[in-house]
Amino acid sequence: MFILAYTAAIVYFSIYGSQSLLLVLRSEFGTSEATTSLMITSVLIPLGIAPLLYGYLLESVPTKKLLLWSVSLLAATALAIFFAEHFWLILGLRFCQGLIIPAILTAIMTYISTMYHGREMQYGFGVYIASNIMGAFVGRLASGAVSTMFGWRYAFLALFILLLICLIVLQRLSPAPKADFERLTPRDIMDTLRRPRCLRVYLLVSCAFFVFVSIPNFLPFRLAEITGGISEFRIGIAYSGLLMGIVVALNCHKLVNLLGSEAKTIRAGLCFFLAGSLFFLSESTSVIFAGMFVFSAGMALLQSTCSGYINKLATTRKGVANGLYLSIYYTGGSLGSYLPGWVYTNLGWNYYIYGLLIVIFAALFLARGLTSDRDACPIRIDSTPL
């Protein structure tokens, strides 16, 4: 599990480490806030599409081999960004990273779901989510620190070195049992989405991720607006609240037992998430810093529960369920990383937050329909194309 956790952490380092660099990138390349935010959007867009295609790879390529090849390609793109001179070339390389990352994440999720069962699987996904959170936080903090000391390019060089280490430790990963995969077809997708509880889980977690990506993505600009100027390292420190999510993720299975069901835990997570979002209406950096802890705790509880819940409901063909989960999840994130920026630019920060609160209320409405955790979400065995 340690090897999978380390791999997941480095992958999330690569996704979110750039957030601490947005201010310095805007300054160096002379781009707007919305355009600069494409550093994150360019990765998340393919993350919303590619998972639907990776069932084909997982069907024919062993999980361990897929991980090794994908991590190698990710390392190559990180090194290429270190040498890139033009902003749009960097965005192109980031887009390539977004095409590679779903192979790694889908393989990890499938590995966990085939190696662990029952409560162990819920705990395994808790560790997975905790690793994601740790990687996202350390990525932001380390990128900010390296950029402040040496320049933003060296943050990508540091990522390259960490990915090389990842390749070394992946060599020791034992082969996973063959998972139950068949080719994903439009019929598979529609049959899955017609299951009401599956669809609700997919949509509500997508809404939550829309908000969860958006606020940290535009937070550097807000902090600079409040303080009049802030370093990349201090921006990285502002994300410290993400660490609260690790505690929650590792104890998610206990919280599910305490609350009695996954459905109740999902609603509790959304309530914490809503409360945390309200903190960002403040003009105090201290209040915003504290709010990040509540905000992250709510999202971690929600994400940890939903990841395990989908695998619990998908009694067969878990790779398809995971691929569809990641696709819808990251589609929400890619939209949230860019579109709300126009509200922020044209109407200001408060209206930007008000708009995001509406999205959270939509997720809460969807969660109301999760009245029973007993209904399974099987995916069709008959995979004949339409």
Tens of pLDDT, residues 331-365: 898 899 888 988 988 889 999 999 999 999 999 99
| 160 within 8 A of 71, measured Cβ to Cβ | no
* Model pLDDT, residue 324: 79
| 133 within 8 A of 243, measured Cβ to Cβ | yes
* Model pLDDT, residue 373: 45
| 377 within 8 A of 318, measured Cβ to Cβ | no
* Cα–Cα distance, 139 to 340 (Å, whole number): 23
Give the rounded percent of residues in the chain with a pLDDT score beyond 70: 85
Q: Which two tokens stand for residue 319?
A: 């790779």
* Cα–Cα distance, 48 to 36 (Å, whole number): 20
* Cα–Cα distance, 168 to 72 (Å, whole number): 11
Phi-psi region of 151 (alpha: psi -120 to 50; beta: other; left: phi over 0): left
Reported in sequence order, the residue ranges of the chain that DSSP labels E, i.e. its strands, are: none
Q: pTM of the full predicted structure? A: 0.79
Helix 2-16 vs helix 87-115: crossing angle, to nearest 10: 160
Instruction: Give the pLDDT confidence of 53-101 residue by residue, as tens digits.
Output: 666 666 667 777 888 888 999 999 999 999 998 999 999 999 999 888 8
Nearest to 250 by CA among 301, 206, 295, 199: 301
Which amino acid is present at 146? Answer: V
Q: What is the average pLDDT value for the chain, to the nearest integer? A: 82
Average of pLDDT values for 272-290?
93
What the chain holds in terms of domains, given with CATH numbers, is 2-173+182-367 (1.20.1250.20)
Cβ–Cβ contacts within 10 Å for residue 87, how many? 18
- 3-state SS, residue 369: coil
Confidence tier at 124 by pLDDT (50, 70, 90):
confident
pLDDT at 44 over 90: no
Phi-psi region of 301 (alpha: psi -120 to 50; beta: other; left: phi over 0): alpha
* Cα–Cα distance, 113 to 182 (Å, whole number): 16
pLDDT at 215 over 50: yes
Give the rounded percent of residues in the chain with a pLDDT score beyond 90: 29
* Model pLDDT, residue 73: 94
* Model pLDDT, residue 274: 94
Alpha helices in 228-348, H assignment, sequence order = 232-238, 244-250, 252-259, 262-278, 285-313, 318-336, 340-347
* Residue 90, Cβ density class (10 Å: 0-12 exposed, 13-18 middle, ≥19 buried): buried
| 210 within 8 A of 359, measured Cβ to Cβ | yes
* Cα–Cα distance, 193 to 379 (Å, whole number): 9
C-alpha distances (whole Å) from 158 to each of 64, 237, 315 are: 24, 18, 40
C-alpha distances (whole Å) from 339 to each of 19, 225, 273, 343, 362 are: 16, 20, 20, 8, 17
Sign of CA dihedral 132, 209, 330, 371: positive
Average of pLDDT values for 249-263?
80
Nearest to 382 by CA among 121, 184, 93: 184
Sign of CA dihedral 71, 77, 81, 86: negative
| 270 within 8 A of 289, measured Cβ to Cβ | no
**Maximum mean pLDDT: which of 49-58, 65-74, 103-112, 278-287:** 278-287
C-alpha distances (whole Å) from 171 to each of 106, 131, 160, 250 are: 18, 19, 17, 26
* Cα–Cα distance, 281 to 354 (Å, whole number): 9
* Cα–Cα distance, 25 to 36 (Å, whole number): 7
* Model pLDDT, residue 60: 66
* Cα–Cα distance, 215 to 341 (Å, whole number): 10
Average of pLDDT values for 301-329?
75
